[in-house]
Each structure stands twice: as structure tokens, then as C-alpha cells.
Structure 1
Amino acid sequence: YTPVAVQCQEAQLVVTVHRDLFGTGRLINAADLTLGPAACKHSSLNAAHNTVTFAAGLHECGSVVQVTPDTLIYRTLINYDPSPASNPVIIRTNPAVIPIECHYPRREQVSSNAIRPTWSPFNSALSAEERLVFSLRLMSDDWSTERPFTGFQLGDILNIQAEVSTENHVPLRLFVDSCVAALSPDGDSSPHYAIIDFNGCLVDGRVDDTSSAFITPRPREDVLRFRIDVFRFAGDNRNLIYITCHLKVTPADQGPDPQNKACSFNKARNTWVPVEGSRDVCNCCETGNCEPPALSR
């Protein structure tokens, strides 16, 4: 016996309420239960189990979303407002409000497989309940398809597409927080080279002999493209590089800020330029400190 059970699915939440809500044996009226500030009605009843089920999109019925550094939190509630019994002067149960939360990690680390001399396309994704599906793909020159197995020469360009599969989820905007190239899957191994750093600054584009940059405009909010001039590690004869990227999302209606941005360096103007948002979100790319200020106590 569970009075209230919650399932947090990719695009919706499902709440099942037992009609013996208070554990007294007295069954409540299904019509007295609603979901969220918008007071949505139940989706189904199970007479055999005496349960009432609500199913709604994460953004429906007046739910609110909170963004923390690591999580998207969708908050709503179950309202129980008892109607009068046969005698309208009295009621025999108390009203109740039951808070409901669904938590979704908004960050994921995705890595290339070993990129060998053939520089084969790489794709890594994690899919599980209550997780978003992130991926990286090596794309053709016109971005229309994944690039087939082929070799790269120094002087060529890597077209990389980062994406999150949103399906019916609340609209999300994808960011690449960081990307590091190394000779092993461990991005902290030595030597390593930062391609994107400081919460979305494409620092490789700051180097004199590169054209590395984010591609603007985005094809969709949940896709971010960038190009990188091909390189190898000096003094190492292995034609093998691993690229590890940290991807994250924010709600699409949340404006970019210094911690959630995509900034390229424009050499002609000698300044950092964002894919979207005001230019001041990129100011910290030059200082290398894009962390939010510490909260004072």
C-alpha cells in the first residue's frame, strides 16, 4: 500500500493516488483530487485497486521548473479538496496538498571512441530512465549527414555536432561546457589540450593559426555545431586522439549567461561573440574565470 506513487518519465510525470489516502480505510472521492495549480483532472481510475492516476506533460497543469547547477527540477502538487458528504454542513476528512518533484540530471559526459588514423565517426550516448540522451557526431562538410569512414590530414576541418534528444520534453537549449583532447580516454592525462573551456568558450579559436568556431545560427535549440582545425600532439607519433566533452542543457526560454553560453573568438574584431545572447556573457572567456561569484553568508 503506497498512498501516492510518482513516475518521472522522459516527457511526462505519472502520479498514482490510492483512494485510501490517509490509511484509515475510508476511500476518498476521485473527483476531489486534482493535479497542479491548474487543477487538472485525473486520467484514469482503477476500481480493482482503488487508485486514481494522473498523467501530464512535465510543463503542464501549472508545474514550475527550477534549474540548479546539475539538475532540472519540475515541481507540482496533488490537491485533495474534500467535497461535503450527504450532509453538506459537515465534512469528515481534511484537505491535503502533496508536493510532487521530478529531477532530471542536466549534464552528461560524452566521449569519442578512439579516433584512429581513419578518423572514424564517433557517437556516444547514454539513455536511461530519467536521463536525457546526449550525443556527439562527426559530420560531412555540409552538415547533412554523418561523415563516412575517411582519413584526415593536418589542415582539414572537423565538423562536430552536439545534440540532445528531447522528443516531447520541455524545449531545451544545449551547451558544450568543455571539450578536451588527449591521448587516452582520461581527459586529465598528459598531454591534453582544451578545445572548449570556461563554460562554453571555444578557446582553440583564440589561437593564431585556427578558424575553430561555433556555427551560428543553430539549426535547433537542442543542437550545437562547431568546427575544429585538425591537429596532433607535438612530439608524439601516435595518430590517435580521444575527445571528451561535457554537455549540458537549460530550458530553452532561459537566456544565456556566463555559465551557460557558446562563445567563439572573432579574430577580425578581436572579440568574443556568442551564438546567442548579449556579448557580455562572453567577457569571462578572456579572463578565464566564468564561475558564479561565491554566495556571501
Structure 2
Amino acid sequence: MKAYFWHSAVLLGMAVATIVALDDLKVDCGRDSVTLRWGAAQSQIDTSLLRLGGCYPSSISAGEAMFQVELSDCNFRRLVTGDTLMYMNELTYMSGPKAQLKSFSHPVVCAYERPVDWAPRIFDPVFQTYGQGDLVFHMEIMKDDFSGPHLSREYPLGSFIHISAAVEQMFHQPLLLLLEECVATTTPELQSEGLVHPIITNKGCLVASKTSNSKFEPRQKASEIRLSLQAFKFTVGKEVYIHCNLLAWDPSGLDTSKKACHYVKGHGWVLLDDPYHSTLCGCCDSSCESRKTSGIASGKHGITQNAVIGPLVVTDKSLA
């Protein structure tokens, strides 16, 4: 792909900037990636609620959000017309029901001269919208900044265990990754007998956040979820394994049984993906019943996968 644009593409980029008042939206189309910067003129906008296709902002500051993504991510749609190769997406803002600024959506387009040797990829004519065969799940313990795997497996009591879970979506439509249930045990296999410490229960409620500083971290992308778990006094000095049930789900299908909620001191239960709709977390202190649908059975809405990480050891210096 050549890294320069046709004149019509530049005009299109100008048109997009004109639609967004006061040049709030700046788009820089690279060779295989795009950088989008939103500098909000409206002071009441919550930039954490901006989405580029299925992607969350790469960084957020006061009144500004920036996306740095590959054109192969975030649900970019590719269109070839004549000698032009176009990548199209939408920047959306989902406001709360009582917010002054209403939800909106703006087009984002990168247009390139079509390479002479470019041809569409050929796929097997049989497609699946959802299916476990093309989904690859990951879960691992990370460094404090989530930049890579954490090499040590010892955690002092009260420190944070940073956990990342993700799903590679291949050719599926966008999926939101959730943690339905997580428990800590002393064995690499879940057993009916033995010690079990609940971490996430009730279809996505981080119960550990009620008694500690554990929390879900802001999402970087819909297909990944990050958890900072404060090391707990479970079996100090012994090996611990964390078992989780991962769910890849339709992003538009959140309800009381499909959610990610953590407890914030002074505010109560908060929904990770949209705090304005934290009422979905209202059942976390009682019982969050699963909604009966044929979606899971047919594979139409989502896929679950069990995962385990460990062993890790929680240490307590006061016992030394």
C-alpha cells in the first residue's frame, strides 16, 4: 500500500473535520495504521466514552482522547472503488441518559491509491459469524503496567496481581470479553472439595473489590479485559491457582447476566464499560439471574472458555 493519498481523499478528510465542530477531530492516516485525536471543545464530554469502531482510546487526558490503531483492527471496513482503496470506520460517543451532550457518531475515512498488484484475499466461501474454532483465548499474569508477562510468581500480601485476559477474534464480528466467574484454589484443577476463594461471582461481579482495592482497569480494546487483584490472605505461603470462566460476547448484548462490575468505595457498584448504566450491577449484592435465550446454545451470541493461571504464592512478612 502506498503511503500517500489521492486529492479526493484529502478533501474527504477535510469534510470529516468540518462535520465535527471546531476541528475537534484530527485524523492522520499512515501506511497500515491510523492516529485519531479528539480534542473536545465541549467541556462536558467524557472522553473515556469515545469508541473508534470496537476500540477504546489508546490514551486519555483532560478533554482529549487519542487512538493509535492498525487498519486491520477496530472493525475498519475496506472498500475498493476504481483506483482507490478506502478504509472506513466511525467514531462514536455513547452518553448517559441524563447527560447534556447526546450520543453522536462521525465517519472516519482513510483513502489510498490502490496498489497495482493489489487483489482481494480469497477465503473459503463458508463463513461463521461466531464460533469457537476461530477464537483463541489468552489469560496471564502481567507486569504492573501490563507491558508484558510478570516473571515473578511471589506477591506480598496487599500488593497487586495484574491479570490480562484476551480473545483473538480472527474473522469474527467484534466481541466483548468478560470474566463471568473467577475463584482461587490450591489446585490446578477445580475440585468439589478443598479451599476455594471467590474473586468474581454472580455473572461478572468483582466481589473481591468490596473488601479490598481490587478493580477492573479501563479497557484498551473490547477483546481484552484487565484486572488488578489485591493479593489476599487465602493460603499464605502455599501455591494458589486462579480459575476463570471467560466469555466472548456480543458488545450490544450487555445485561445483568453479561457484564463487568466492580465496587467503588463511596459510589457502589460501577459498570466497567458504561458507568451511566451501572444499574446493571444492582444485582451484585443479591442474585444476577441468567436471561434465557437460545443464543449461547446456538453459538449465536457468544462463546465461553475456562482458563487457569498459576501457581503463584502470596507471602506475609509479618509471619516471618
> TM-score normalized by structure 1?
0.52
- Cα 1:172–1:289 change in 2 (3 A) is closer
* Matched-pair contact (CA < 8 Å) for 1:182–1:189: no
* Matched-pair contact (CA < 8 Å) for 2:134–2:169: no
**Pairing 1:172–2:179 present:** no
Shift of the alpha carbon at 1:289?
3.1
Number of the residue aligned with 2:197: 193
* Greater relative CO, 1 or 2 (CA 8 Å, sep 6+): 2
Number of the residue aligned with 1:111: none
**Pairing 1:288–2:287 present:** yes
Shift of the alpha carbon at 1:156?
0.9
- Local SS of the residue matching 1:256: coil
* Matched-pair contact (CA < 8 Å) for 2:156–2:231: yes
Number of the residue aligned with 1:250: 249
Where in structure 2 are the equivalents of 1:108-119 lying within 5 Å? none
**Pairing 1:142–2:142 present:** no
Where in structure 2 are the equivalents of 1:100-115 lying within 5 Å? 104-105=131-132
Alpha-carbon distance between aligned partners in 2 of 1:176 and 1:152, rounded to the nearest angstrom: 22
**Pairing 1:213–2:211 present:** no
Of residues 204, 218, 222, the one that matches 2:208 is: 204
Consecutive unaligned residues in structure 1, runs of 5 or more? 1-42, 45-52, 59-64, 66-71, 73-103, 106-129
- Cα 1:249–1:294 change in 2 (3 A) is closer
* Matched-pair contact (CA < 8 Å) for 1:139–1:145: yes
Percentage identity across aligned positions? 27
**Pairing 1:272–2:274 present:** no
Q: For the aligned residues, what is the CA RMSD?
A: 2.6
- Local SS of the residue matching 1:170: coil
Number of the residue aligned with 1:153: 156
Shift of the alpha carbon at 1:167?
2.9
Number of the residue aligned with 1:228: 229
Shift of the alpha carbon at 1:284?
1.1
Consecutive unaligned residues in structure 2, runs of 5 or more? 1-120, 295-320
* Matched-pair contact (CA < 8 Å) for 2:134–2:171: no
Aligned length in residues: 171
Q: Which has the higher helix share?
A: 2
Deviations 1:57-99 (CA, angstroms, capped at 9, x unpaired)? 54xxxxxx5xxxxxx4xxxxxxxxxxxxxxxxxxxxxxxxxxx
* Matched-pair contact (CA < 8 Å) for 2:135–2:170: no
* Matched-pair contact (CA < 8 Å) for 2:139–2:164: yes
Please identify the structure whose Cα radius of gyration is greater.
1
* Matched-pair contact (CA < 8 Å) for 1:175–1:261: yes
Alpha-carbon distance between aligned partners in 2 of 1:196 and 1:162, rounded to the nearest angstrom: 14
- Local SS of the residue matching 1:280: helix
* Matched-pair contact (CA < 8 Å) for 1:232–1:239: no
Shift of the alpha carbon at 1:276?
1.4
Shift of the alpha carbon at 1:152?
1.5
- Local SS of the residue matching 2:172: coil
Alpha-carbon distance between aligned partners in 1 of 2:171 and 2:156, rounded to the nearest angstrom: 40
* Matched-pair contact (CA < 8 Å) for 1:139–1:160: yes
- Local SS of the residue matching 2:205: coil
* Matched-pair contact (CA < 8 Å) for 2:217–2:227: yes
- Cα 1:148–1:274 change in 2 (3 A) is same
* Matched-pair contact (CA < 8 Å) for 2:256–2:288: no
Alpha-carbon distance between aligned partners in 2 of 1:219 and 1:237, rounded to the nearest angstrom: 33
* Matched-pair contact (CA < 8 Å) for 1:137–1:162: yes
Alpha-carbon distance between aligned partners in 2 of 1:56 and 1:293, rounded to the nearest angstrom: 29
> TM-score normalized by structure 2?
0.49
Where in structure 2 are the equivalents of 1:55-94 lying within 5 Å? 55=125, 58=128, 72=130
- Cα 1:56–1:141 change in 2 (3 A) is same
